[in-house]
Amino acid sequence: MDQLLQGLRAAAEPTRLRLLALCAHAELTVTELTQILGQSQPRVSRHLKLLCDAGLLDRHREGTWAYYRLADSSQCAHLARTLVDLVPDDDNVLARDLGRLDGIKQTRAEAAADYFRANARRWDEIRSLYVPEAEVETALLASVGDRAVDDFLDIGTGTGRILEVFAPRIQRGIGIDLSHDMLQVARANLEKAGHRHCQVRHGDMYNLQLPAAEFDLVVVHQVLHFAEEPHGVIAEAAQTLRPGGMLLVVDFDRHEEEFLRKEHQHRWLGFNREQVDGWCADGGLDNRPIVELAGGRLTVLIWVAVRPMAAAP
C-alpha cells in the first residue's frame, strides 16, 4: 500500500501528470521534455526524479543522455498506465504537449533518415549477397511457431527491424545496441510504427546488465560476425532466458568473402554450424535443428536453442 500511495502522491501534480502522459507516447530526454513543457531544466528534472522514485517512470542512461519512459515492470507500472489512460483525450494542455512531441519525433525521424541514407549503400552491398531479408524474417517467425512470447529481447537491435517484426507477437520488447546513431534510427522507426510496447537501450552485448531468466525469446540477428568473442555473446544471451525460453541466432555459414572483413569490419567470415551449437550447449541450452537459407554467395543460418524447463522438485 505504501508504494501505491507514493505513486498517487507523485502523480498528483499537473506538470508530473503531463510528464507521465508524454513518456507514455515516447522515450524522451530532459532536454526534449523541457522544450515541450516550456519549463526550466532543473524543475523538470526534479519532477522526473519524483516520478522515477515512485516507480511510475523508468530512466535509462545512454552515453551523456538519459531517456525516460513510462514504467513497464515496477510495482506501480499498472498505476502509471491507468493514470495516463484516465487523462481525457480532448484535454487542451495534453493536445498542445502532444503537438510539440510530434515536432520532436519529426526531427528525430529526419536525423535517422540522414544517417540511414549515408550508410544505405554499405548495407545494400551486403544484402545483395544473400536471400532477401523478408525470407529471413519469415523463417524467424516460423521458428518460434505458436509459442507464447511475453518478453522479447533483441541483442544488437540496429534499426529496430527485428523488434518491428515480432511486435505483433509480444507483450514487451527490448532492443540493445552499442551505437547511439543506430538507437536513434530504431527509436524513430518504432515510434513511426506505433510500437509503444517496444523500447531500445544503450548496452553492451557482453554485459547486458539485465536480470537473469527475464525473457521468453532472445534474438541475435547478424551480430556475431562483428563480435570479438562471439561465445561470450551467446553466454550472456543464454542467461537471460527463462526455463523453456528460446534463443535464435541469425548469421552466415562459414564463407570466404574476405572483402567483408576488410571493407565492412566483419571480425568473422561466418561460423561453422557445430561451433555455434557448441556455444549454445555451453550456455546450458538444448539445440534444435538449424534452419538453412541458401541463396547468392552467402548462406544464412538460424541456430535454434531452448533453455530446458526446470526440473520438478
pLDDT digits (tens, 9 = 90+) for 198-212: 999 988 899 998 999
Cα 280 to chain centroid distance, Å, stands at: 22
Four-residue CA torsion sign, 61, 62, 67, 72: negative
Residue 11 scores a pLDDT above 70: yes
Mind listing the domains of the chain with CATH numbers?
A: 2-101 (1.10.10.10), 129-306 (3.40.50.150)
Mean pLDDT of the chain: 89
Average pLDDT for 280-300: 94
* Contact by Cβ (8 Å): 279, 234: yes
Cross-strand pairs, 58: 69
pLDDT value, residue 313? 36
136-160 tens-digit pLDDT: 999 999 999 999 999 999 999 988 9
Q: Give CA separation, 219 vs 132, 162, 267, in Å.
A: 18, 8, 20
Q: Mapping DSSP to helix (H, G, I), strand (E, B) and coil, where does residue 147 land?
A: coil
Q: What is the pLDDT of residues 45-66, one digit of tens each?
A: 999 999 999 999 989 876 667 8
Asked if residue 279 has pLDDT above 70, the reply is: yes
Instruction: For residue range 209-222, list pLDDT tens digits in order.
Output: 899 999 999 999 99
